[in-house]
Amino acid sequence: MRYHVTGIDHAKGSHMALDIEAPSKAAAEKRAQAAGMDVQHVTSAVELQTQERRSHRGEDNGAAGAWIIKLIVVVAIVAVILVFAFPKLRALLHR
């Protein structure tokens, strides 16, 4: 069976991914270690193909909290405008 092994190159410290043909996950992990990898994760190639990505980094997934942030920003902008404009409007009304 084919396994996808991810980890860190022991010599360089860089990220590393290997596809290894092995009879078990343990054998795939040992082969990756023999290749100089500090193994972090072993996944069968079949599992890797069946997994779907639910979202991508930076993608808006329609989170419910987004409208709260927009509301806070709008309220803050209105408050700043009122702080600077209210004294001038008050002076104009009391002439």
> pLDDT 10s digit of each residue in the chain, 95 long?
889 999 999 889 899 999 999 999 999 999 999 999 999 999 887 776 666 666 666 666 666 677 888 899 999 999 999 888 888 877 777 76
- C-alpha closest to that of 31 among 60, 67, 23: 23
For the segment(s) 1-50, the CATH number from 3.40.50, 2.40.160, 3.10.20, 2.50.20 is 3.10.20
* pTM to 2 decimal places: 0.51
The DSSP call for residue 10 is T
Please give the radius of gyration of the chain, using alpha carbons only, rounded to the nearest integer: 28
Domain segments of the chain as ranges? 1-50, 66-95
Coil, strand or helix: which one is 40?
A: strand
Q: Can you give the pLDDT at residue 32?
A: 92
pLDDT at 24: 92
